[in-house]
Amino acid sequence: MTATEKALVLDAPGKHRLVEREQAAPGAGEARVRVHASGICGSDREIYQGNRPAGYVRYPVTPGHEWSGTVEAVGAGVPESLLGRKVVGEGFRNCQVCDRCHAGDTTLCGAGYEETGFTQPGAMADTLTLPGRLLHPLPDDADLTEAALLEPAACIAAAALKANAQPGERVAVVGTGTLGMLAVQFLAAASPAELLVVGTRPDRERLSLEFGATHFRTRDRLDATTAGYDVVIETAGSASAARASAALLRRGGRLVLTGIPAPGALGLDPTDLVVRQLTVHTVFGAAPAAWAHAVRVFGAGLLTPGPLITHQLPLSDFAAAIDLVGSGDPKVGKVLLTPG
């Protein structure tokens, strides 16, 4: 008798249903993971609302690119030692043979964009089947609820690696959402002389300080005296946040942009970038090295995403979860969906 399971399907923007489907047997090179939890982020709202950029979603789709779980079956060619292991996994389904993949830049795969939860079935289901090579095993005592945030943590790990903050440098984070609070923890682990957090929500000050920040300011309190930073990581996703981030830097400073503003937004001043010799990096997704870094930092106890989780709802409450994420309520942090 064929086993069945439940999965959420978005047939089109605004149209979702909970379906019962046959449970997939992993093919060669694949592993099937029993999903513990799946997080909702702004990009999940985009595919629900229908405003994700063309080419970066394919309907119908099962969403869910932030997840954690336990390996319950493996196909041919996948080590059986993974069975029973707690894992997280990369989302980008890269080709492994193009020059960008060989260079380790798998998020820039020349074969085109394919990602779990957007163009490939995601984790808002009882199980997720994906290539075993994308899995990252966790310590046996890992908290799988917290581990569901390791996908956004991996994106911030990519930013932290590009920022290359050195002990004793002055560093700053602009943005106080999930990505911003994770960035604070990564930068705090680098032993900075000063760690400033800039946001629009005064209620994030306490959490910022708990995560290792030395100072907190709302953006309206920034002035010409708030500058001279070696490194700034921007996570707010607006053009104004990008400009505020650049203004915080000393000459020769390093800026990493992780947020994605609305199309057509006015960008940074190229004259300012050249005259001050600023180095600007951007991040879209996380390559394997960033995933390995995030998992390692998490396993070492230097990353604690738990306080960012405010709601856990069953998969059947997907619409309510989407509304929560978009509510603007400061009491709403990371929202997780749990199957079963």
pLDDT tens-place string over residues 196-243:
999 988 889 999 999 999 999 998 888 878 899 999 999 998 999 999
Computed over every residue of the chain, the mean pLDDT equals: 95
pLDDT in tens, 33-57: 999 999 999 899 999 999 888 899 9
138 SS3 class: coil
Taken in order 176, 177, 178, 180, the sign of the CA dihedral is negative
Backbone angles phi, psi at 152, to 5 degrees: -60, -35
**Is the pLDDT at 2 greater than 80, yes or no?**
no
**Is the pLDDT at 151 greater than 70, yes or no?**
yes
Residue 153 pLDDT: 98
Averaged over 242-247, what is the pLDDT? 95
pLDDT in tens, 247-298: 999 999 999 999 888 778 888 999 999 999 999 999 999 999 999 999 999 9
Residue 260 pLDDT: 84
Averaged over 91-104, what is the pLDDT? 95
Sequence-ordered alpha helix ranges (H) in the chain: 42-49, 99-102, 144-147, 150-163, 178-188, 205-210, 239-248, 270-275, 288-299, 318-325
Residue 1 pLDDT: 64
Pair of tokens at residue 273: 């970038």
**Is the pLDDT at 186 greater than 70, yes or no?**
yes
Q: What is the pTM of this model?
A: 0.95
Helix axes 150-163, 178-188, angle to 10 degrees: 50
pLDDT in tens, 56-80: 999 999 999 999 999 999 999 999 9
Q: Which of 232, 105, 92 is nearest to 160 (CA)?
A: 232
